[in-house]
């Protein structure tokens, strides 16, 4: 397969997922921009609540992703009955996960008072956190249908639905935050209700499409678990749980950074939220490329073509480096304009501009590490990458961030330098692992071919 063919196939898979992921993060961007008009305290409150919530949300998203590489491999082998069973088992795993995570978040609310954050920020953060927590269950149902469809290389439908629901979220934000069209002015809580309503619409639309589309009529998509397979359930969990922890280790590192920002002050926390919100846009789009890489790698392994599998993975690395380079340029050039879209506080804009320069520096590392996790997930290699993310962020990056910020007096800049170094270490280690494992698979395929030719 030529380089041009690899690019075309990967791009056609990736761009709908990138736009879909962009739609997911734009829910938070729209919330932050509109909440920022209310002042620094509501913006800091949304930052604190979202820092906690997104750790849990990303874990749930990671668990749901256990479906996709297995469906992709089964599709490569033409195993339709197995694909049907993967959908059913994945659905009930995601339902159980959403219930457990909701209970966890409900119990976590009061703990915010013990994180040494400003009282006025915590008072607004807790009720907002509880409202967005209610969106976990519908979100996980949506993820089930989305990951199933993406495993079959059908990525456009989730894109259209996510974009539509994001537009609904923005409209509801305008109505509920500022009290338009006769509705009461709910401020920060309005943003929470808008997010909840838009996430309820997502599984309704995606589920209706998948269950009624002729494209999927070959599969048994009964919502009932007709025959429980402990082995199949375990296969999904063996990918999904480590993937969830990979997300936790990374996202919680940024959440811990938000807590350290709160120790510096409200303005530092608000600036961190703005810079992180913008960086999340490029990150989530890069994760779309990661998903495309996971699908392509898994499908080629199912077909038994290891050389094409490695070529597909390497193409995704190249594509993400180009994309993230462009993002870095935008962040650096727009470092003062972009924060002004969120808030009109001069000090917060200045602080956010400084952080965006650092964010520009770690774009390449951030993109490479998320793609590395994706292509390795397509190979069902998740345990070692999980350990890598744990060590890189929590053993190395965060302690370094604390030292740079407080003992060395670099404050908010020191925290982000620590995160930059953690991302860079992770990216290098994951790339090296993919290259080594794919080379082993190619060598094994060549030995097997040679053995067959001698018979």
Q: Which residue has the higher pLDDT, 55 or 61?
A: 61
Find the helix packing angle between 266-303 and 136-151, rounded to 10°. 30
Helix, strand, coil share (%) of the chain residues, nearest 5: 85, 0, 15
pLDDT at 33: 76
Stated length of the chain: 455
Instruction: Name the percent of the chain lying above pLDDT 90.
Output: 36
- Res 347: pLDDT: 86
Range among 22-31, 52-61, 114-123, 185-194 with highest mean pLDDT value? 185-194
pLDDT band at residue 230 using 50, 70 and 90 as cut-offs: confident
Q: How far apart are CA 135 and CA 195, in angstroms?
A: 7
- What is the rounded CA–CA span in Å between residue 292 and residue 319? 11
Read off the pLDDT of each residue in 63-85 and give the average, rounded to a whole number: 88
Helices (H) and strands (E) in the chain, counts: 17, 0
Mean pLDDT of 360-385: 90
Tell me what pLDDT residue 454 has: 45
Question: CB of 309 within 8 A of CB of 301?
Answer: yes
| 3-state SS assignment for residue 109 | helix
List the domain boundaries for the chain.
3-449
| Mean pLDDT, all residues of the chain | 87
Q: What is the mean pLDDT of residues 72-93?
A: 88
User: How many C-beta neighbours within 10 Å does residue 329 have?
Assistant: 12
Most confident of 9-18, 38-47, 168-177, 439-448: 168-177
Lowest mean pLDDT among 14-23, 49-58, 373-382, 441-450: 441-450
- pLDDT of the residue at 96: 94
């Amino acid at each position: 397969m030529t380089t041009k063919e690899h690019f075309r196939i990967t791009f056609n898979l990736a761009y709908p997922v990138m736009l879909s992921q962009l739609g997911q993060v734009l829910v938070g961007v729209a919330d932050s921009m509109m909440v920022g008009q209310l002042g620094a305290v509501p913006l800091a409150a949304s930052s604190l609540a979202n820092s906690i919530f997104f750790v849990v949300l990303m874990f749930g998203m990671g668990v749901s992703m256990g479906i996709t590489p297995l469906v992709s491999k089964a599709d490569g082998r033409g195993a339709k009955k197995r694909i049907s069973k993967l959908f059913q088992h994945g659905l009930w795993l995601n339902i159980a996960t959403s219930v457990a995570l909701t209970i966890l978040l409900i119990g976590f609310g009061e703990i915010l008072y013990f994180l040494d954050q400003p009282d006025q920020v915590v008072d607004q953060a807790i009720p907002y956190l509880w409202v967005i927590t209610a969106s976990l269950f519908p979100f996980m149902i949506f993820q089930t249908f989305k990951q199933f469809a993406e495993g079959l290389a059908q990525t456009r439908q989730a894109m259209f639905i996510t974009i539509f629901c994001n537009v609904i979220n923005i409209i509801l934000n305008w109505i509920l935050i500022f009290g338009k069209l006769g509705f009461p002015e709910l401020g920060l809580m309005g943003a929470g209700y808008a997010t909840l309503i838009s996430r309820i619409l997502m599984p309704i639309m995606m589920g209706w499409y998948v269950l009624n589309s002729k494209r999927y009529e070959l599969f048994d998509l009964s919502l009932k678990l007709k025959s429980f397979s402990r082995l199949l359930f375990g296969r999904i969990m063996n990918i999904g749980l480590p993937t969830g922890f990979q997300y936790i280790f990374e996202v919680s590192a940024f959440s811990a950074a938000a807590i350290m920002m709160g120790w510096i002050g409200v303005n530092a926390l608000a600036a961190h939220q703005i810079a992180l919100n913008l960086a999340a846009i490029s990150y989530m789009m890069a994760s779309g490329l990661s998903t495309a890489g996971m699908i392509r790698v898994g499908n080629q392994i199912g077909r038994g073509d290891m050389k094409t599998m490695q070529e597909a993975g390497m193409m995704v690395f190249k594509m993400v480096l180009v994309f993230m380079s462009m993002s870095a340029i935008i962040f650096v050039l727009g470092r003062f304009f972009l924060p002004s879209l969120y808030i009109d506080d001069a000090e917060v804009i200045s602080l956010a501009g400084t952080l965006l320069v650092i964010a520009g520096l770690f774009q390449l590392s951030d993109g490479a590490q998320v793609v590395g996790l994706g292509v390795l997930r397509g190979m069902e290699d998740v345990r070692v990458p999980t350990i890598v993310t744990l060590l890189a962020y929590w053993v190395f990056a965060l302690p370094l961030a604390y030292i740079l910020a407080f003992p060395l007096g670099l404050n908010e800049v020191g925290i982000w330098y620590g995160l930059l170094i953690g991302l860079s270490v992770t990216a290098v280690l994951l790339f090296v692992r993919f290259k080594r494992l794919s080379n082993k698979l190619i060598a094994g395929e060549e030995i097997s071919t040679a053995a067959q030719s001698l018979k």
